[in-house]
A and B are shown apart, each in its own frame.
Chain A
Amino acid sequence: MPDLLRLDREPGQDRQRAALRDAVREWTGQALGLDDTATVVVTELACGEPGCPPLEVVIAVFAPHSPRRQCHIHCGLTELDETRVRGAWERNPSCGEHTHD
């Protein structure tokens, strides 16, 4: 179960996560050729549904006059690196999505 309240998270950890999100945005921007008018949202979600991974990162791209693109990577934010992010976008812009019945 992820630490929902993040009470014992050191300030350094928050900075590390913020830096990671910035990096994910940058890797996403490079992979998709985005300019600075695009908004990239990076969210770590926990899912308790049977068969779903406990944590996933959803990356969503909102660019003016373009359809939304999103990508799901089945791991926690801190497990992400450039290879996984670029690889996810290269495979499929809507890869790894899971659904709830």
Chain B
Amino acid sequence: MKQEQPTFFKALVSAIQMLYTIAPMLLAVIGMVGLFQTFITPEMLHSLFKGSTLYDTFVGTITGGISVGQPFLSYIIGGELLEEGISLYAVTSFILSFVSLGLIQLPLEYSLFGIRFTIVRNLLSFLFAILVSWATVITLEILS
């Protein structure tokens, strides 16, 4: 039996209903963003780096994943970290996980995509933040 194509109005009503369904979770995520922006300061993030490349790359990925805000904030913090002598590996993984990982949006992701998808996507993002940062810096060193 052929499936009926909804009209634009019906599809719009359905999309608004979906927004209504996820609204409490969306508001919760936005509330968390405000809390993280206020209570997790750049100084706090700086203090976690120790100067060891391997350790700092790991820390960079985690801190990038829990940080929130516009992408340019990660460039500013990354630039400051570089000036303080933190390795480019760690700074790159921080910048990358800042935009590709999101601890606070995990509940929303889980509720819409399910547990398996959420775990696979976030684990891959975490792993690739480290791999891409190493590949980028090594390529840069070879080319220069």
Answer yes or no: are A and B bound together in one complex: no
By a beta-carbon cutoff of 8 Å, the part of chain A in contact with chain B is none
